[in-house]
C-alpha cells in the first residue's frame, strides 16, 4: 500500500508527462506551420532573400540580386581570365646590333651577375674565326607592355640602355614593329618606347599603394629572351624593399620601395608587368636575387604613373629637381666627420672640378643652400636609407614648393624651395 509521500511523487510525475505532451504538440505545430509556409513560398519563388543568403553563405556560396545561387570564382579561373585579358598587351622587346661576323661573339655584359640581367644573349652554336665585316644580330631581349592604343610601350631603362643597338617590339600576335626610345626616366629604371601602330590593346593600371603581403600576383614576360609571354604566378612576399642591383660591370643602381615576389622572374622578364588577380598592372618586373630561389623585385606602378602621364601629355618625362650633389649620411659618415646626425644628405661636390655641390641658379641655390649643409627632412619626412633625397623629390611635381629642414653652419634651419624641371 502506497504511503502519502509516494502518492505525491506519482501525482507530480503525471503532471510532468502531461506538460511534456502539451509542449511537444505546440512545438510540432509551430515548426510544421513554419516549414509548410517556407515550402509553399519556395515553390512560388517567394522565399526571402535573407534566408537564401544565409543558407548559401553557410555553404560557401553567394547569391546575386535575383536570389539565384552563384559560386565564388576559384583562384585558378581568376588567374586564367586575368592572363587572357592581359596577354595581348604584353610585348617582347628584341635587341639587335651590328656585330663582327664571328660565331663566338658573346653579347651579354650581364652574364656574370644574373641579379639585374635585362636579357639573355643567344649563345653561339660553334666557335669560328672572324669572317670580316659586321652583320645585324639579335643579341638579347626584354619585355614591356602597351600603355596607349597608339603605340606607347613601357619597359625598364636598362633594357634599352645601349644607344648603339636597335629595338623591335613583337606583340602577342607575332607582329613586329621598329621601336624608338621616346623617353627615359633619369631617376627610376623606366623607359617609354614608341611604335607606329594604332588600336592596340592596353593594360589597365592598378594601385600599388593598396597591396597586401600574401596577395596573389602574376608575372608575364619574355623569359630568357626566348620564351615569349611566359606566365608565372606567386604572391607578394614583401613591400617597400630597398635593394642594390648590379649589372656585372661594376655599375650598381639603388632600387627603392620595390615589391618583392616569389613569382618566377627570369632574365628577359625585365620590363614586363606584374599583375594582380584582376589583370591590372601593379608593378614592373626589374630584378631577381642572385643565388636565391623565388626572390624577384618589381617597381611599384604608382612610381611610373607620373612618367606615363607626362609622356602622354608632353611627349617627355619631366622630373623635378633641387640642384644639389650629396652624400647619404650614415653612422660611419657621422663618426668620420664628427657630424651631429647619422641621417640626411650632405651637400658635397663631386670628383671633377665641374661637379659643383650646388648647381648655380638651381632651386637649392636660390634658397641659400651651400656646400656642407645637411638636408635633414623634406615636408616632415626624414632623409635616410629608406627615404633617399632623390626618391623623395621625385614624388613631387615641377612647380611644387617643399619645406626643407637643413643643418646649416651649426644650426637647424627651415627653408621653402620651389622645385624646377630637371634639364
Residues carrying an active site annotation? 158, 189, 270
Which residues, other chains included, contact 331 with Cβ-Cβ below 8 Å and sequence gap of 6+?
A: 342
Asked if residue 243 lies in contact with residue 295, where contact means CB atoms within 8 angstroms, the answer is no
The end-to-end CA distance of the chain, in Å, is 118
Residue 375: CB atoms within 10 A of its CB come to: 26
221 class by beta-carbon count within 10 Å (0-12 exposed, 13-18 middle, 19+ buried): buried
Asked if residue 296 lies in contact with residue 270, where contact means CB atoms within 8 angstroms, the answer is no
3-state class (DSSP) for residue 137: strand
Asked if residue 120 lies in contact with residue 225, where contact means CB atoms within 8 angstroms, the answer is yes
- Per-residue cell: 334: 657621422
409/420 Cα distance (integer angstroms) = 26
CA nearest to 276, candidates 208, 192, 356: 208
353/222 Cα distance (integer angstroms) = 44
Taking the CA atoms of 146, 148, 151 and 154 in sequence, report the sign of the dihedral they define: negative
325 class by beta-carbon count within 10 Å (0-12 exposed, 13-18 middle, 19+ buried): middle
Torsions phi, psi for 407 (to 5 deg): -105, 115
In this structure, the chain runs to a length of 423
Asked if residue 297 lies in contact with residue 286, where contact means CB atoms within 8 angstroms, the answer is yes
- Indicate the DSSP class of residue 114: G
Partnered with residue 378 across adjacent β-strands are: 381, 404
Amino acid at each position: 500500500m502506497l504511503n502519502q509521500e509516494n502518492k505525491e511523487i506519482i501525482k507530480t510525475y503525471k503532471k510532468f508527462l502531461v506538460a511534456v505532451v502539451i509542449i511537444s504538440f505546440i512545438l510540432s505545430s509551430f515548426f510544421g506551420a513554419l516549414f509548410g509556409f517556407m515550402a509553399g513560398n519556395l515553390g512560388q519563388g517567394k522565399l526571402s532573400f535573407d534566408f537564401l543568403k544565409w543558407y548559401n553563405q553557410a555553404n560557401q556560396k553567394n547569391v546575386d540580386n535575383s536570389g539565384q545561387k552563384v559560386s565564388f570564382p576559384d583562384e585558378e579561373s581568376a588567374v586564367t581570365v586575368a592572363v587572357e585579358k592581359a596577354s595581348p598587351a604584353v610585348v617582347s622587346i628584341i635587341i639587335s646590333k651590328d656585330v663582327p661576323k664571328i660565331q663566338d661573339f658573346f653579347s651579354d655584359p650581364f652574364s656574370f651577375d644574373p641579379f639585374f640581367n635585362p636579357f639573355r644573349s643567344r649563345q653561339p652554336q660553334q666557335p669560328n674565326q672572324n669572317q670580316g665585316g659586321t652583320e645585324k644580330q639579335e643579341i638579347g631581349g626584354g619585355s614591356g607592355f602597351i600603355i596607349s592604343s597608339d603605340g606607347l610601350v613601357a619597359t625598364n631603362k636598362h633594357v634599352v640602355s645601349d644607344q648603339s643597338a636597335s629595338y623591335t617590339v613583337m606583340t602577342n600576335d607575332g607582329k613586329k614593329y621598329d621601336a624608338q626610345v621616346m623617353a627615359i626616366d633619369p631617376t627610376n629604371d623606366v623607359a617609354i618606347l614608341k611604335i607606329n601602330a594604332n588600336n592596340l590593346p592596353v593594360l589597365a593600371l592598378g594601385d600599388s599603394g593598396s597591396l597586401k603581403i600574401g596577395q596573389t600576383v602574376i608575372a608575364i614576360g619574355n623569359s630568357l629572351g626566348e620564351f615569349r609571354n611566359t606566365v608565372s604566378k606567386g604572391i607578394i612576399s614583401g613591400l617597400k624593399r630597398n635593394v642594390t642591383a648590379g649589372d656585372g660591370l661594376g655599375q650598381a643602381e639603388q632600387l627603392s620601395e620595390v615589391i618583392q615576389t616569389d613569382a618566377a622572374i627570369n632574365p628577359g622578364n625585365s620590363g614586363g608587368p606584374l599583375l594582380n588577380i584582376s589583370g591590372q598592372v601593379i608593378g614592373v618586373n626589374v630584378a631577381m636575387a642572385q643565388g636565391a630561389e623565388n626572390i624577384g623585385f618589381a617597381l611599384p606602378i604608382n612610381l611610373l604613373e607620373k612618367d606615363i602621364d607626362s609622356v602622354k601629355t608632353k611627349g617627355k618625362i619631366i622630373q623635378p629637381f633641387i640642384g644639389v650633389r650629396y652624400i647619404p649620411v650614415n653612422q660611419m659618415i657621422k663618426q668620420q666627420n664628427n657630424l651631429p646626425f647619422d641621417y640626411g644628405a650632405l651637400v658635397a661636390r663631386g670628383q671633377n672640378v665641374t661637379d659643383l655641390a650646388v648647381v648655380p641658379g638651381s632651386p637649392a641655390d636660390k634658397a641659400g643652400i651651400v656646400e656642407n649643409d645637411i638636408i635633414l627632412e623634406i615636408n616632415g619626412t626624414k632623409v635616410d636609407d629608406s627615404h633617399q633625397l632623390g626618391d623623395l623629390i621625385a614624388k613631387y611635381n615641377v612647380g611644387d614648393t617643399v619645406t626643407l629642414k637643413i643643418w646649416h653652419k651649426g644650426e637647424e634651419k627651415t627653408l621653402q624651395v620651389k622645385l624646377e624641371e630637371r634639364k
